[in-house]
Each structure stands twice: as structure tokens, then as C-alpha cells.
Structure 1
Amino acid sequence: MLPITPIFVRSKEILKQLSLLLDEERVAFGELSSDTIVSLSEQKKSLLDEMNQLNNKRINILIKFDVVDRDNPTEEEFKVWLDQQDSSMDHIRLLMQECDLLLRECKTKNHTNARILNTLQKRNKHLFELLQGHSSKNKVYTSRGSTKPISSKHTLGRA
């Protein structure tokens, strides 16, 4: 019997925590709470670091028990091996399925948050340009082919 059940149990717990953090992050974006956003980012990084460590530990165990190739271990190799096992491994199959569902949920939430963040960044950039007196119509090309705004004499800071 492979000693990987605790790894999958902890991975499931981490994915649940990550999902909750992603929900909190979306709320923080709506409230424009930068301190909360930074704190949540640090918590997410900590969880993802632990998840990476668990994944490495799981791969090392699978290599040790000759379940996957030592030189090129793949997830697919493990799944094929797991499918060939008897019903005593059903609990691991179930944990893997739950982790896969939670992972997909986290990826969807993360993608949504990235889109929200991108929108907020564009809005803030536009507002900053307005404060500087720049207009999206008043841009010139630089020597590298990008554009840069031309300052207006009538900025809000000078008014």
C-alpha cells in the first residue's frame, strides 16, 4: 500500500483554503483594499509553496515504489497504474477526483480574479493619465514603436 493518502488529504485541504482565499480576493478587489489584497497574495503564495512540496513528496514516493518512471515521472503514468489496482485504492481515486474538481474551481476563480485585476489596472492607468493631463488621443510613437502620451497644459494638478 502506498503511503500517499495523507498527501492527497492535505492537498484537498489546501485547495479548499485556496478557493476561499480567491473568493476573499475578489471581494477585496471590489473594495479596492490594497492591504487585504497584499495579505491574501502572501497567503496564496504560502499555500502554493506547500502544494508544490506535497507534489514533490508524492512524486518521490511514486518513484520509490516504482509506480512511475524515475527519469520522466508523469501524472498519466500514475493514473494508468491506479486504474489497474483493485478496489482497495478507491479512496485514493476519490481523493484524486475531489482534488481535480477543486483545482479546476480554483483555476476558474483565479482566471476571473485576473480579469478583474486587469480591468482595475487599466482603469487606474486611465485615471492616472487624466490626472497628468494625458489623453488617449494625444499620443506619439517612440523610437521603439510604442506610444507615449503628450502632456497637456491643462492638467488637473495645475488647475
Structure 2
Amino acid sequence: MIPLAPLLTQIKENLEQLSEVLLRERTALATATPDDILQLASEKKTLLDNIDAANAKRQSMLIKFGILDAKNPSDEDFFKWLDKQPNLDEVKGLVSECNGLLDRCKRENNTNAQILATLQKRNKEMFEMLQGHNRKNKVYTSSGGTRPISSKHTLGRA
């Protein structure tokens, strides 16, 4: 019998931890705590590396036992094989849980990415405004054209 359950349990635990880190990251983004954000990014990288390593080990194990093609390993082939196995209910349950956790982590990560993009855009606009380089703020010239507001009129010079 192929020892898939321990690997899938490890992947599941890492995905659960990743979900917790992503929720903490959202809180850190809301409070704009740079040190916390960097620490959480490091934790995410470690967890993702662990998941990748366990998944690579699972894939090589499945190739070794002839379940996956060595030249073109496919998760689809694994799922087809797994569906045909009557005595691997625990493994089937773990795979299902891992897939659900993976989807949740993807949603949480995408939400955090959107928050981060919004914060970056806002910070860039505020920085440009302070420098007087905001390309959106233009004045009309006597000839009817437009030009950026002079940097002589920035908040930083007040």
C-alpha cells in the first residue's frame, strides 16, 4: 500500500497554517504594520516551500508505484486512479480537504493582493501629491493647453 495519508496530512496541516497566516496578513495590511507584513511573508514562503516539497514527494512516490507517467505526471491521472480505489477512503477525504483548503487559501491570498494593490496605489498618489508630481492635477495655460501644477505649490514646501 502507498503511504499517501501521512503526506496528505502534512499538506493539509500546512494549508491550515497558511490560511491562518493569510488572515493575520490581512490584519497587518489593515493596520499597515510593515514589520509584521514582512514576517508573515516569510512564514508564507516557508509554508509554501513545505507544501511544494511534500507534493513533489507525493508525485515521485506515485511515479515510483507506476500510478503516474514519469514523463508527463498529471493530477488528473492521480484522481482517476484514486476514484478506482475502494479501500482508500481516508486518502480520498484528505485529498478533498486539501483541495478545499487550497481554494480557500487562494481566495484569501487574492483578497490580500487586492488590498495591497489598493494601498500601494493610494500611497503612490499621496507621495506624488506631496512632491507636486501628480500627473492628474493639471492647469490650463493661456493658449488652452494643459501643464502639470508647479512643484512650487506643493504641500511639502508649505
| TM-score between the two structures when normalised by the length of structure 2 | 0.90
Give the partner amino acid of 2:105: C
Q: 1:83 to 1:151 in 2, by over 3 A?
A: farther
Deviations 1:59-101 (A, max 9, x none): 0000000001111000000000011111x20100000000000
Cα distance in structure 2, aligned partners of 1:96 and 1:47: 18
Give the gaps of 5 or more residues in structure 1.
139-148
The percent of aligned pairs where both chains have the same amino acid is: 51
Gaps of 5+ in 2: 139-147
Distance across 2 between alignment mates of 1:134 and 1:153: 11
Q: 1:118 corresponds to which residue?
A: 117
- Counterparts of 1:47 and 1:151, CA distance in 2: 49
SS in 2 for 1:67: coil
The total of aligned residue pairs comes to: 149
Is the CA contact (8 Å cut-off) linking 1:28 and 1:36 kept in structure 2? yes
Question: What is the RMSD of the two structures over their aligned residues, measured on CA atoms?
Answer: 1.4
Which residue of structure 2 aligns with residue 44 of structure 1?
A: 44
Larger Rg: 2
After TM superposition, give the deviation of residue 137 of structure 1 in Å.
2.8
Give runs of aligned pairs for residues 1-159 of structure 1, distance below 5 A. Answer: 1-86=1-86, 88-135=87-134, 136-138=136-138, 152-159=151-158
Q: Which amino acid aligns with 1:28?
A: A
| CA 50–36 in structure 1, closer or farther in 2 if over 3 Å, else same | same
Contact 1:132 1:151 in 2 (8 A): no
Instruction: Look up the equivalent residue of 1:7 and give its one-letter code.
Output: L
Question: Which residue of 1 is the match for residue 145 of structure 2?
Answer: none
| 2:9 and 2:94 in contact (8 A); partners too | yes
